Amino acid sequence: MTKEKFIENFKLLLVHLRDLTEEFCFNDISENYKFVLEPSERNVSGHLTKDENEYLKTWNKLENKEISFEQVIELLYKNGKTPKWADCNIKSSTLDKTVVKIFFSRQFRDESEIYYLERGTGPFKAVVNTPYKSIENSSEKFDVNWKEKLEKSKIKNIFSKIKHFWF
């Protein structure tokens, strides 16, 4: 795959991701995108090439860090090869910024082995994480930030219990 095609597919993915998220969520989605990379595993693996295992050092340094569109291109396009697949969802969104999580295969392949090409977004696929309760009320839109709020609430509860234990 050419770098130009990869960039074109990534841009189209962002259009699909925004449209899909707005279909299910009531939030306004900012077009000021930042990205968080999440490789399918964070350990050296024998089934990967030397280069694929070497890339892991960089990805582990970037764990939970927000990066730019250009940095995603630099990190996920390597000598004509890209991750075999990359599932993308909006992790959080405010009026100022939208954070997209990219969960991706650590296998870098040429275009003949990449998923989602038929969508025109290969190796990227747009997904929306849905809260369990939204299944019951599938016609109701939900907050795109539900998962982040849930995680923050769990952390707050843990600190509250620790504080209560010590005082």
Question: For 135-153, how does the pLDDT look when each residue is reduced to its tens digit (9 = 90+)?
Answer: 555 678 889 998 888 887 7
- Averaged pLDDT, 25-39: 95
Q: What is the pLDDT of residue 117?
A: 94
As a whole number of angstroms, the distance between CA 124 and CA 86 comes to 5
- pLDDT-based confidence at residue 114 (cuts at 50, 70, 90): very high
On average, the pLDDT of the chain sits at 89
Q: What is the pLDDT of residue 167?
A: 56
Q: Would the pLDDT of 159 be above 60? A: no
Work out whether the CA dihedral 31, 7, 66, 152 comes out positive or negative: positive
- Averaged pLDDT, 47-63: 95
In this structure, what are the phi and psi dihedrals at residue 25, rounded to the nearest 5 degrees?
-120, 150
- Give the CA distances from residue 83 to residues 88, 114, 118, in Å, rounded to whole numbers and listed in that order: 13, 7, 16
Q: What is the pLDDT of residue 7?
A: 98
Q: What is the pLDDT of residue 50?
A: 95
